[in-house]
Amino acid sequence: MILVLLPALVVFIGITLYALWRRQRTDRREADMENCCTPRGGPCDLAVIGAGSAGFSAAITAAEAGVRVALIGDGTIGGTCVNLGCVPSKTLIRAVEGLHHASAANRFDGIKASARVTDWAAMVAQKQALVEELRAAKYADVLPRYEDITYVEGRARFDDAGGLTVDGAAFPAAKVVIATGSRPHVPAIPGIETVGALDSTSALELTELPASMLVLGAGYIGVELAQLFARAGVSVTLISRRGVLPEAEPEVSEVLERYLADEGIRLVRTGEYRRVEQQEDGMALHLAEGGVIQAERLLLATGRVPNSDGLNLAAAGIETDARGGIVIDTHMRTANPWVWAAGDVTGRDQYVYMAAYGAKIAARNAAAGETRSYDNRTMPWVVFSDPQVAGVGLSEAQARAAGREVVTSVLPLAAVPRALAARDTRGLIKLVAEAGSKRLLGAQILAPEGADSIQTAAMALKAGLTYDELGDTIMPYLTTVEGLKLAAQTFEKDVAALSCCAG
């Protein structure tokens, strides 16, 4: 009998001892945190200000390096991307793509299809459910996995002596990473505060679609949202000072502008916005040229502003640029040697993946004394229009401005077998290379599946490939990415004279 009970007794004793050890460890940890990461105790190893993608990336990276981290959040956890930006916008963009694809199905003989919005509020509710699911899975539920991270709810800022505070109470920290993100820009147009203007956040929360909308700004946010609402049935006017996607290659911008117009989006270019006024049935924007544009709602898409103005940075010796971005060196360090910054608050490369990338560098340099450098030379970027726009590296204008002698290749999508098979030849591919060496410097793709192809160009740039080497790379037939191979061959060949498979 004793022999039968002995294994169970051993297991019971083992479980009890383990539970006691865990309890003692937890008690010690809680005591350490009270002494480390609260205003009552001594300094933390690292305080991270901001609980979005950059803040979480910095906190997790530092915790994995073995330091004690206070992650300070103010408001909804998760930051812009999951709550207000990438996830909600791309979800609704994908939804309305179905409407467009149904109406465009007649490009194939023997097919007729149509689709319409039956319940916009239901779409918005489904979008919000996904936002809440990802906020929990990727942010709130992640914190308990890291014992060295303590989440602190409150508003952080520097006091007049340069010390860190949370909700006005001293919060000593040995080092700090600022990752407070950005917010939508509100242009200084007289009357703008009187018309109930939407921004990229509130527009995606509308449960009823307006009959008409004026989208102010034709950068990536303006283009994406203009097309989204136009496809949902809203009469959209897209207005800007510099045209559609002014930072893209001119060949890309001009062709995309035509495609948007083909979908019924009215495009207006102006030199100045004079004033905005509320009217009985909507609003009116007065232009410098004397024209007036009316719509039921106004959506502002004129960029984003770093959330740096409420931190009292000057008192801590931290500099900002003209747009409020925190000035940092290549190691993500500010003018204050104990403070680093990452993500949108720096005012550069405002993409969630670059925020996370920069935050890892900042955390490693702050936590472990490393000297890692931020490198965006092969940073891919994407505009989720349809066709999608994606790019990496230098544009032709940027390369020439840098003193490079360049050659370019422009391949229309009509030369790509994938586009022919899909009967959708909207788009082009442009490559920029260094004359003489033939080394690739940049690429931009305008194509329905361009977003999933640009990484191949990014890897080619990272590897230092020439256009000959990219043109010799084996790529699968009837894919959009094969267009990169064809575009590379176009530098010196007439691809129309080649057989299939870019042979």
Nearest to 482 by CA among 439, 441, 440, 429: 429
Are 411 and 490 in contact by the 8 Å Cβ rule? The answer is yes
Report the CATH superfamily, name and number, of domain 192-302.
Answer: FAD/NAD(P)-binding domain (3.50.50.60)
Residue 127 annotated as lining a ligand binding site: no
How do residues 248-306 score in pLDDT, each as one tens digit? 999 999 999 999 999 999 999 998 899 999 998 999 999 988 899 999 999 999 999 99
Residue 494 annotated as lining a ligand binding site: no
CA pair distance 415, 402, nearest whole angstrom: 31
CA pair distance 172, 153, nearest whole angstrom: 16
Report the CATH superfamily, name and number, of domain 381-492.
Answer: FAD/NAD-linked reductase, C-terminal dimerisation domain (3.30.390.30)
Residue 467 annotated as lining a ligand binding site: no
CA terminus-to-terminus distance, the chain: 80
Fold (topology level) of 43-184+303-376: FAD/NAD(P)-binding domain (3.50.50)
Quote the pTM value: 0.88
Residue 347 annotated as lining a ligand binding site: no
pLDDT greater than 50 at residue 384: yes
Residue 325 annotated as lining a ligand binding site: no
As beta bridge partners, residue 183 has: 305
Residue 218 annotated as lining a ligand binding site: yes
CA dihedral for 187, 193, 198, 200, sign (positive or negative): positive
What is the distance, to the nearest Å, from the Cα of residue 298 to the centroid of all Cα atoms in its chain? Answer: 23
Where are the domains positioned within the chain? 43-184+303-376, 192-302, 381-492
Residue 217 annotated as lining a ligand binding site: yes
pLDDT for res 82: 84
How do residues 433-455 score in pLDDT, each as one tens digit? 999 999 999 999 999 999 999 99
Residue 310 annotated as lining a ligand binding site: no
Residue 344 annotated as lining a ligand binding site: yes
The residue to which tokens 């009985």 are assigned: 280
